[in-house]
Amino acid sequence: MTKDELARDVGLVGALTVGIGATLGAGIFVLPSIVAGEVGPILWLPFLLAGCLALVNAVLVTELATALPRSGGSYDWVYRALGPPFGTITGIAGWTSTTLVTAFYCLGFGIYLGFFLPLPEGWLFGLTLSPERTGAVLAAFSVLASNYVGVRNGGPGAVALVCLLVASLVGFVVATTATVGVGELVAAVADDRLVGSIDSLAGATALVFVSYLGYAKLAAMAGEVRTPGWTLPRAILGSLCTVGALYVCIAVVLEAAVDWETLAATDQAIVAVADAVSGSTGVAIIGVAGILATVTSATMSISTAARIGHAMGSDGLVGRSLGTLHPRFGTPYRAFQLTGLAVVALVVTADLVTLALLATALHLVVAILSSIALLSVRRSVPSYEPPFEAPASSAVAGVACLGSLALLVATGTLTLLLTAGVLAGAAVWFALYGRTRANPSDALEAGLERRVGSKTGAEGIERARPNRGTDSSSNPSVTDAEQPDDTTDETILIPLSNPRTERDLVELGCTVAQARGAAVVAIHVVQVPGQTPLHRATDRERTASDRLLEAAREHAEPFDVPLETYTVFSHRSVEEVFDAARRHEADLVVMGWRESTPFAGRAETVIDELAHELPADLLVLNDRGFDPSSVLLPTTGTVNDDLGAETARVFRDACDSDVTLLHVVDGERERGGGERFLEDWSARHDLEDAATVVDASGDVEGAIESHAADHSLLIVGATERGLLSRLVKRALALGVVEDVECSVLLTERAHRRSLRERLFR
């Protein structure tokens, strides 16, 4: 029976990218001018206070996220800890808050786009739009469209953008410090004058708190984070501390460079200081940074909002159409449509301050409910032992509740009334609609026992129990999967993707497995769009995957080997094979190679290539079929050729293959040495009965192509490390493998490479 695996494909780099990218948004680019008018020369203090409260809340969120690492965030935790009524309130409040934040970012984008493009007035919904709102509408439609069709938000491009953004802001701080001097910075910090009242300071803190909401978006991806007990604390707290320190430093240099009255009188304080320090060059850099920050944050925020709507739709708390996926793109398109429409309406009608305060207030309500959920779990679940535990968590939860409540009051009467209206509407909605339609859900206690109480849950390696014919949306829990037959010490992994090549790969893998006494694990990787939580998408393409793996089981029947089959749901494609090999502790990976193989994935794609090892021996068969009747094995004596010799020996013994060894030398004078080399090499690898050919042409590729014409299978050891990535990227040094007409089997040994080797080959 086929089992399911939910791949955890977001590593530390990707998580930090999401955390920093979602947090470092429009707040620091558009709010300092408003805050300066409220508090005067202590502009840095509201950013510091808001950051401290965000950090306290983030510590609790991190504990919950590591205890029950699921995609859904606070909605999912509260729903299971406190029940569907509070889950509905949390979900609607979280969706509304994130939608408001997205609109806030879009308005910031419109402001900074105006530095480079003369935006015209627009017209929408019968309203005349200012140039800034026209730009905001463009941003809203752009981020909606990119998420709707499934464009990746966490790939290498996002890493580059976030790094560029951080570098720009750090450069701004350094350049301003060099201009004004350290003494002015000290004086700015030491100036403790408060222009307004304590209420003004509290209100300013509530206003800038919207700048720190990105950590919640990262926690909502917990179900897709690799080794969550290790990664999430570092990513959530690390990104929040990084952004908080950067915010405070920017606020200090703003005060030091320009007096607070001037800051309060301008719309963009950071632009005014950049102009004073570096002129038009500084304005251009900060303008680009503002555009990057706002569009990146808006893109990630709208994705999070749609995920919440999709999750609630799947659970039956809102219209179930929100839980459906696009038939082509696989994204929660109905949730995106609703969220996008709301964002456009908000950027047309609302102002920055109202959006920021209301988003903050609703987020604080969610934070309070999350703290209560954590306290409830700690008192009611005896088996609760999270991988990450907040220090003095009960006290910290109390501080978080009180601090969030105090800041909620500071948002103002109008904001409180609007917040109360949203919460009341959520409660009425549940009473009239969600109460009778909500799906039954796994109890939080059971989920914690499965995930936290096991070694697998702590390490973040999760495998789902067999669930053919079940509704995985309502039953997304995971447990340790059965391992292949324990009577064998070796495992061969066969990733399958194409029914046309499945039989060849299974026959190849099972032939080798039978000779080595190994077990076989066949997997089919179903690629899920990044906007769709993995555990919400497990019904997609299940039928096709089951057919493919059922065919694999049938083709493996003639071989006396134990076989397990898995469907792996992942946001990645080819690189997921590496993680699957590690999860199953594979000794050998047998996979197919097609010229059109895609290479797309998360941020870790580049980092894995630079820093990680090949976890298992690798056999890659092209799509011309598997015919081992006549085998040609070129060799120069490398370890990859040794693997080729082992494979050729298997074919000789199991398939009665004729094996020919080929060695290319440079000229006739080296022929004798080549013959002695082949004689010794064949003896060491138990291939004395193989035919030997020494080609004196000196042309390695030409010789291989010429002799391969008389054979059915060419086995080639990788001429350089990193075979799989170069196959996919079409960058093989030995191009002959694409020119010969026979089947080709490429081999590469498992290895660990240094960073220098990765960079410079």
What's the pLDDT score for residue 262? 85
> Which amino acid type is present at position 748?
E
What's the pLDDT score for residue 114? 81
Q: How far is CA 85 from the centre of its chain?
A: 31
Question: Are 137 and 129 spatial neighbours (Cβ–Cβ below 8 Å)?
Answer: yes
Place of tokens 């606020």: 251
- Does 87 map to a domain? yes
Instruction: Kindly report the three-state secondary structure assignment for every residue of 135-158.
Output: HHHHHHHHHHHHHHCCCCCCCHHH
C-alpha neighbours within 13 Å on the C-beta side of residue 294 = 29
Residue 617, H or E segment: strand 617-622
- Does 75 map to a domain? yes
CATH number at residue 650: 3.40.50.620
What's the pLDDT score for residue 591? 87
CA 745/CA 742 separation, integer angstroms = 10
Note the pTM of the prediction, 2 decimals. Answer: 0.73
Strand partners, 568: 5, 525
Last residue of a domain, one of 380, 406, 437: 437
Q: Which residues of the chain have pLDDT under 50?
A: 449-487, 595-611, 724-733, 759, 761
Quick one: 750 exposed, middle or buried, by C-beta within 10 A (0-12, 13-18, 19+)? middle
DSSP notation for 204-252: HHHHHGGGGTHHHHHHTBGGGBSSHHHHHHHHHHHHHHHHHHHHHHHHH
Residues 6+ apart with CB under 8 A from 289: 29, 165, 168, 169, 172
- Does 652 map to a domain? yes
- Does 662 map to a domain? yes
Query: What is the number of structural domains in the chain?
Result: 2
**What 3-state class would DSSP assign to 694?**
strand
* DSSP 8-state symbol, 434: I
Place of tokens 């570092």: 234
Residues 6+ apart with CB under 8 A from 474: 314, 315, 439, 440, 441
- Does 492 map to a domain? no
Token couple for 491? 């495992």
**Domain of 682, in residue numbers:** 613-760
- Does 559 map to a domain? no
Last residue of a domain, one of 404, 419, 437: 437
Give which of 570, 481, 571, 577 is closest to 522, Cα–Cα: 577
- Does 601 map to a domain? no
Task: Give the C-alpha distances (Å, rounded to integers) separating 2 from 153, 280, 541.
Answer: 31, 62, 14
What's the pLDDT score for residue 442? 52
Task: Give the C-alpha distances (Å, rounded to integers) separating 639 from 440, 635, 645, 653.
Answer: 55, 10, 10, 21
Q: What is the CA radius of gyration of the chain?
A: 30
Strand partners, 496: 524
What's the pLDDT score for residue 608? 47
DSSP notation for 496-560: E--HHHHHHHHHHHHHHHHHHT-EEEEEEEEE--TTS-GGGSTTTTHHHHHHHHHHHHHHHTTS-
Last residue of a domain, one of 404, 437, 470: 437
Task: Give the C-alpha distances (Å, rounded to integers) separating 134 from 110, 118, 142.
Answer: 7, 11, 12
CATH number at residue 141: 1.20.1740.10
Question: Are 515 and 653 spatial neighbours (Cβ–Cβ below 8 Å)?
Answer: yes
What's the pLDDT score for residue 375? 87
CA 83/CA 60 separation, integer angstroms = 19
- Does 466 map to a domain? no
